[in-house]
Amino acid sequence: MKKLIASIVILLGIIVALPRNAPADEIDSFHFYFKSGMVTKSDLSFSRLYWTIGADYDFNLVPFVMLTPELDFYFNGLDFSDFWIVPGATLNLRYGGWYAGVGVVKYLHVGDLNTMPTEAAIKINVGYKWERFKLQLFYLDKYGSTSGLGFALCFPF
């Protein structure tokens, strides 16, 4: 895990160092997205598959840095009586339409008339924004024990 995080930090440093001309309106703009996707185990076994619905909000802090708070709901199949609420935030570096970043998410399990919080998890994501849509791939890790791998297609609101 340390090698993966170190590789991402080096890659993001290289991306930031590359020259880029950004329009002035990119610096102070923000975008709200509805998103849907799926999450499974990182070995892609699909033994456990969660459908996701959520929203995120991209704040462009400077031309190459984006802060993205998010709120997702993970459903196991079509069983809506037992689900996860997953709030979080990621800090992303951007280059053109590409972005990559690291953040933290927190799982809250809701079901059987109780809500049970779990520990926070690290989220590593990479994606591409075009026009007003974005496609995102992400990896979730709970302190060394892999939680999941997923994707989301985000629609502007």
From residue 100, alpha-carbon distances to 108, 129, 138 in Å are 25, 11, 10
User: Could you tell me which of 79, 76, 65, 72 has the C-alpha nearest to residue 20?
Assistant: 65
Q: What is the DSSP annotation of the chain?
A: -HHHHHHHHHHHHHHHHS-----HHHHS-EEEEEEEEEEE-TT---SSEEEEEEEEEEEEEETTEEEEEEEEEEEETTEEEEEEEEEEEEEEEEETTEEEEEEEEEEEEEETTEEEEEEEEEEEEEEEEETTEEEEEEEEEETTEEEEEEEEEEEE-
Domain assignment present for residue 23? The answer is no
**Domain-embedded: residue 24:** no
Query: How far is it, in rounded angstroms, from Cα 146 to Cα 157?
Result: 32
Question: Among 35-44, 90-99, 106-115, 139-148, where is mean pLDDT lowest?
Answer: 139-148
Total structural domains in the chain? Answer: 1
Query: What CATH number does residue 62 fall under?
Result: 2.40.160.20
Task: Determine the pLDDT at residue 141.
Answer: 77
Does 42 fall in a domain? yes
Give tens-digit pLDDT for 119-150.
788 888 888 887 778 888 888 876 554 456 56
Mean pLDDT of the region 91-112: 89
Domain that holds residue 85: 2-18+30-156
pLDDT at 91: 96
pLDDT at site 103: 94
User: Can you give the pLDDT at residue 102?
Assistant: 95
Task: Evaluate whether residue 25 is within a structural domain.
Answer: no
The verdict on residue 151 lying in a domain is: yes
d(CA 148, CA 139): 6
Tell me what pLDDT residue 153 has.
Answer: 66
Residue 7 has pLDDT above 90, yes or no: no
